[in-house]
């Protein structure tokens, strides 16, 4: 009981006092009058952080391993100077550029093209990509921090940031040839949204039972892809698609191969958006491929290695989803706390009632526990340590916390 009381007092002080450490100076706020200027400011912060450091081998510690290039770090929530600078810049971007557009985007179930363009200009869509391809050149944890800060303001937009960074940018960096990186990775860094096309109507959790086929045409050195992908995020906005299809059904899942397909490819059709209850601005569509001819040079990775690629990418993608859910929970909590300290019943702020103190103290504890699990999984991945179990646990914990905290916050302000 004493620990609940102490934590509730700290939270009350945090909710009622000014936050100069988190709020931008007035001059900065005033300067963010236009999307273009805001994007330029964040881009400068991301691409020219104050203390760029030369990476050194990562430590071999198993838990809370620390960031590569910084030596041992005693807590996985500690950040490098670059990460802190990036996080603060993305926070400003989310508050000044994204937040004013969120209501309209949700109501219209559509992304604002200006905000997408500003994200590219700011470098938020290519945080891990090397600078020579137009990226920022930071690490995986930095991507998760950006996803979390965006999700605090709009989880729908965070979907786009997350998938672009943790799945697509990673897939080209890890499996792409030099030519593919020069041709496609530069586009992903500059102005092109990409979609990850794996799921089908009959292969959701059992992703490797997919029916999409890719037949090799020796005469033209092309693959002809036919099939339908379902529930594809960002597909309405995408200019490129990484499509998983089976190039040798006789080998089962070992025939699955990843292909880079341009939106202009004849035979590729993006269906209407799914009508969703939440995260409405994020597009979720069906993608149909009817005899799409893709040159053999557009095979991403090796023929028959698509199943292994998908597993590896989705393992680390879970950490990004966890970061998104931590951001969602923080956003709901931060929105509710000032209200419960302002609203009075029986002459007292409702936050002062012990029953409420127990609730928001525990909520803060749950958010922090999910955050630590996500950061730890990210640090392990970044340090080259085993992280699959930690990633799965972090995603599960963070999603449960997000659902629980969001529901409680609705109750508190009801």
Strand ranges, E, within 234-350? 240-246, 256-262, 268-273, 284-295, 299-300, 344-345, 348-349
Torsion sign (Cα): 245, 250, 253, 257: negative
Other beta carbons within 10 Å of 284: 20
Helix (H) and strand (E) counts in the chain: 14, 10
The predicted-structure confidence for 231-286, as pLDDT tens digits, reads as follows 999 999 999 999 999 999 999 999 999 999 999 999 999 999 999 999 999 999 99
* Closest to 125 (Cα-Cα) out of 105, 150, 104, 88: 150
The predicted-structure confidence for 339-353, as pLDDT tens digits, reads as follows 999 999 999 999 999
Q: What's the burial of 107, exposed, middle or buried (CB within 10 Å: 0-12/13-18/19+)?
A: exposed
Phi/psi for 270 (5° steps) reads: -100, 125
Strands 194-197 and 240-246: parallel
pLDDT over 90 percentage in the chain: 79
- pTM metric for this prediction: 0.83
Q: What is the DSSP secondary structure assignment for residue 167, as one 8-state letter?
A: I
pLDDT at 206: 82
Strands 344-345 and 348-349: antiparallel
What CA–CA distance (Å, rounded) separates 103 from 262? Answer: 31
Phi/psi for 87 (5° steps) reads: -60, -45
Q: Residue 411 is encoded by which pair of tokens?
A: 């109750």
pLDDT at 204: 75
Bridge-partner residues for 311, per DSSP? none
What CA–CA distance (Å, rounded) separates 337 from 359? Answer: 11
């Amino acid at each position: 009981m004493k620990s609940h009381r102490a934590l509730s007092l700290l939270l009350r002080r945090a909710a009622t006092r000014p936050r100069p450490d988190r709020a931008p100076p007035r001059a900065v706020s005033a300067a963010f009058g236009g999307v273009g200027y805001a994007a330029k400011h964040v881009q400068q912060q991301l691409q020219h952080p104050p203390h760029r450091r030369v990476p050194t081998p990562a430590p071999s510690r198993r838990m809370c391993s620390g960031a590569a290039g910084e030596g041992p770090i005693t807590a996985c929530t500690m950040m490098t100077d670059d990460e802190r600078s990036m996080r603060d810049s993305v926070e400003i971007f989310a508050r000044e550029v994204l937040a004013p557009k969120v209501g309209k985007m949700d109501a219209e179930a559509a992304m604002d093209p200006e905000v997408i363009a500003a994200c590219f200009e700011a470098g938020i869509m290519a945080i891990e990509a090397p600078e020579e391809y137009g990226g920022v050149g930071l690490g995986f944890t930095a991507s998760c921090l950006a996803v979390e800060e965006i999700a605090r303001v709009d989880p729908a937009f965070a979907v786009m940031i997350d998938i672009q960074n943790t799945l697509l940018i990673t897939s080209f960096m890890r499996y792409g040839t030099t030519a593919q990186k020069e041709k496609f990775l530069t586009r992903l860094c500059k102005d092109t949204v990409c979609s990850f096309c794996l799921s089908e109507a009959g292969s959701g959790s059992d992703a490797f039972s997919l029916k999409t086929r890719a037949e090799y045409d020796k005469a033209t050195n092309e693959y002809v892809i036919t099939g339908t992908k379902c529930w594809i995020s960002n597909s309405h906005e995408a200019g490129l698609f990484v499509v998983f299809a089976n190039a040798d059904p006789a080998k089962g899942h070992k025939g699955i191969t990843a292909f880079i397909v341009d939106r202009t490819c004849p035979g590729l059709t993006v269906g209407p958006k799914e009508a969703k209850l939440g995260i409405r601005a994020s597009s979720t569509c069906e993608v149909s491929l009817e005899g799409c001819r893709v040159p053999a040079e557009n095979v991403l990775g090796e023929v028959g290695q698509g199943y292994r690629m998908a597993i590896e990418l989705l393992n680390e993608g879970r950490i990004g989803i966890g970061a998104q859910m931590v951001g969602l929970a923080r956003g709901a909590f931060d929105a509710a706390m000032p209200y419960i300290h302002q609203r009075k019943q029986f002459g007292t702020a409702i936050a002062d009632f012990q029953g409420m103190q127990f609730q928001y103290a525990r909520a803060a504890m749950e958010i922090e526990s999910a955050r630590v699990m996500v950061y730890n999984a990210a640090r392990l991945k970044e340090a080259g340590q085993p992280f699959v179990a930690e990633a799965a646990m972090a995603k599960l914990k963070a999603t449960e916390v997000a659902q629980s905290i969001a529901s409680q916050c609705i109750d508190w302000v009801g």
